[in-house]
Structure 1
């Protein structure tokens, strides 16, 4: 009997050691799920776009990650079991960070979500450590891809002062209509967005047609579109064009248009060409050509008309238009206004595609 008792004690200790053991895995372990365009470099996964995420399922009480942030300016939401637990601002240089600790026994899911857009820098993830056991990665019900500007990035959505500041600490892509909609539908999301970008002109030297097919916006390396095939693509662009085509004294206007504003036919043709490029990548996707909710959709604006004419000319029954109501407040959409946009888009997708 003493021998049996001793064996049981050893067995229980063995099981306890297994349960409490730390499991460390490299960035390319198949149990790690990456959301968004996340290129795999030689020694790390690279997160740059808004919403780029690392997601794991696990049993255990704590998770650590070894990261290197390019500029030390990015912010990440640490989401545990569907709720934002804290916000992480990783520093420059390779360091280990505790993402979660003191969790209850049992299964958990952790998501490290990039709140900030790519101009705040890239982040490289080298490894993850779990005080417990990694489980198979999540499976999503749907797939959505977005192409957008500051509205889609969530720029200034957390600036409650009314100053509409575009600083990194006021930008939260997690609260943008794009992510709220994707989460509602349990959708894997890719978000290709940049504040200030347009289709015909931007506040800087490039436009969305220049970068839409890149793995990282500032690198000409092409993204492999076979890695992700969305069911729905949402294009929400033209807000910046609507301002800049009238700004004849702006440097970019002079570079792009010279002395004369573009004609409606030029604007429509450029938009149509961009949508055709997206269609060539995803022959079966439903494409929603959206606009709003800033002043490009206010009463009398020609920009929804331009989009409608561009879409009509494509003669594609799987390309749709949907325009968000003008929010009629200053600045970029607040978190509340982003939620209103999400409610609108969710209702439209339900109604149109029966999701």
Structure 2
């Protein structure tokens, strides 16, 4: 493996099914590696700039600088077709932890970008000659970090092309907390937050449900966030329409994208935070929940809104949460015929693992298939 002195070093380690990325200090890498094709290079000029019409962006991005869009929210995707036998992805400034699924012609690898000013991630083996398809999918949630995408490096004389138009059947938008984000879903027995490479939004119940219906997909979820109280400062009512997951963020500009179905899954943190600290359940939860959903309705007047509860202990077993949520859901349904509710039966003590996410997605998908508003979709 070759390495240059830079703020970010990207190394692929073969662990079996996928090439799992390891983040290695530059000094260690330079001392121990002699050959390869993964390196981080500051100031590398992309052969295909991120503002090229060859790219299709799906998700809530910060595109203030069109040639350097910031990939923020989990589930955000970048697509392009390209030609040639070699490929490298270029990143600019990144914060905290960012892990991505990179798929070329349907084959997926996992990469990560350390905090810093620039990084380069090369596909780890030669490709067949001809045209290829690329998907870059953000695994890790917005609160874990964000990264600037600068574009692609291709072989001299090779080009990138707009990908084939998607054939989505409908559009789904999910709001929620760690359950919806897919936090900890590839962890072992215990939840852990130090290494976010095991937090994979692509295998969250939200992404799996969207995939079951061939849906375009957005995921605006923040771990630890509640309606009234939670483990993070920002509240759901402050973050749902923001560009970044914080209360002082600018609002996200309209992107010309409209969901057909909006899912709202909050309450777990309001329950677990207060229960764990011996505090009363927030008296204003029901009012805050209704206010949030009504704001979402104002933003998406034609969408069907599905109110979700469950997936972990609080949503399944917490009496205070259940009572407050049922009160809010009943009032919302009574005032809006395009709002309905669904309660998961499956739940876990820890955060849902991939098998749990599949069970949750299976329940939700089966229910959706029986709903009148989903007929023909």
Q: Give the TM-score taking structure 1 as reference length.
A: 0.82
Q: Distance in 2 between matches of 1:244 and 1:225?
A: 33
> In structure 1, how many angstroms separate the alpha carbons of the residues matched to 2:221 and 2:262?
13
Say whether residues 1:165 and 2:192 are aligned partners: yes
Q: Which residue of the other structure, out of 273, 284, 307, is the alignment partner of 2:291?
A: 273
Residues 76 and 89 of structure 1 are in contact (CA less than 8 Å); yes or no, is this contact kept in structure 2?
A: yes
SS in 2 for 1:77: strand
Q: Which one of the candidate residues 252, 264, 283 is aligned to 2:301?
A: 283
- Residues 159, 261 of structure 1: CA spacing in aligned structure 2 closer, same or farther, 3 A cutoff? closer
- 1:69/1:159 Cα in 2 relative to 1: closer, same or farther (>3 Å)? farther
1:107 positional shift: 4.4
Identify which range, 96-105 or 61-70, moves more after superposition.
96-105
Structure 2 segments unaligned to the other structure (5+ residues): 1-45
Confirm whether residue 336 of structure 1 aligns to residue 371 of structure 2.
Answer: no
Written as runs of structure 1 = structure 2, the 5 A alignment for 1:180-195 is 180-195=208-223
Q: Bigger shift: 233-242 or 212-221?
A: 212-221
Q: Please tell me whether residue 242 in structure 1 is matched to residue 259 in structure 2.
A: no
Q: Write the deviation string for residues 281-333 of structure 1: whole angstroms up to 9, x where unpaired.
A: 00001111112210123357343443333233232111111111142x43110
The match for 2:79 is 55
Contact 1:76 1:113 in 2 (8 A): yes
1:96 corresponds, among 102, 120, 141, to 120
Q: RMSD over aligned Cα, in angstroms? A: 2.3
Per the TM alignment, residue 180 of structure 1 is displaced from its structure 2 partner at its CA by 1.6
Deviation at 1:188, TM superposition (A): 2.0
CA distance in 1, matches of 2:365, 2:281: 36
Shift of 1:204: 2.4
**Equivalence map 1:124-135=2 (5 Å):** 124-131=148-155, 132-135=158-161
- Please give the per-residue CA displacement for 1:168-208, whole angstroms capped at 9, x wherever unaligned: 12211111111122223232221111110011111122201
Between structure 1 and structure 2, the one with the greater Rg is 1
Give the stretch that moved more between structures: 98-107 or 47-56.
Answer: 98-107
Q: How do 1:1-355 residues align onto structure 2 when only pairs under 5 Å count? A: 24-42=47-65, 43-71=67-95, 73-83=97-107, 85-91=108-114, 92-99=116-123, 101-131=125-155, 132-137=158-163, 138-141=165-168, 142-160=170-188, 162-167=189-194, 168-218=196-246, 219-248=248-277, 261-263=281-283, 266-299=284-317, 301-314=319-332, 315-327=335-347, 329-352=348-371, 353-354=374-375, 355=377
Aligned partners of 1:291 and 1:99: how far apart in 2? 40
Contact 2:94–2:118 at 8 Å: present in 1 too?
no
CA distance, structure 2, for counterparts of residue 347 and residue 152 of structure 1: 18
TM-score normalised by structure 2 residue count: 0.78
Kindly provide the CA deviation profile for residues 2-46 of structure 1, in whole angstroms up to 9, marking residues without a partner as x.
xxxxxxxxxxxxxxxxxxxxx932212222111210121324010
Please give the secondary structure, in 2, of the residue aligned with 1:202: coil
CA distance in 1, matches of 2:238, 2:231: 14
**Greater per-residue strand proportion:** 1
Structure 1: tracts of 5 or more residues without a match: 1-22, 254-259
Tell which deviates more after alignment, 219-228 or 109-118. 219-228
The alignment partner of 2:336 has SS state of coil
Deviation at 1:90, TM superposition (A): 1.8
Secondary structure at 1:280 match in 2: helix
Q: Structure 2 vs 1, CA of residues 41 and 62 (structure 1 numbering), >3 Å: closer, same or farther?
A: farther
Show the counterpart of 1:8.
none
Aligned residues: 319
Q: Deviations over 1:216-253 (max 9, x none)?
A: 1245211123532111111111110112233556xxx6
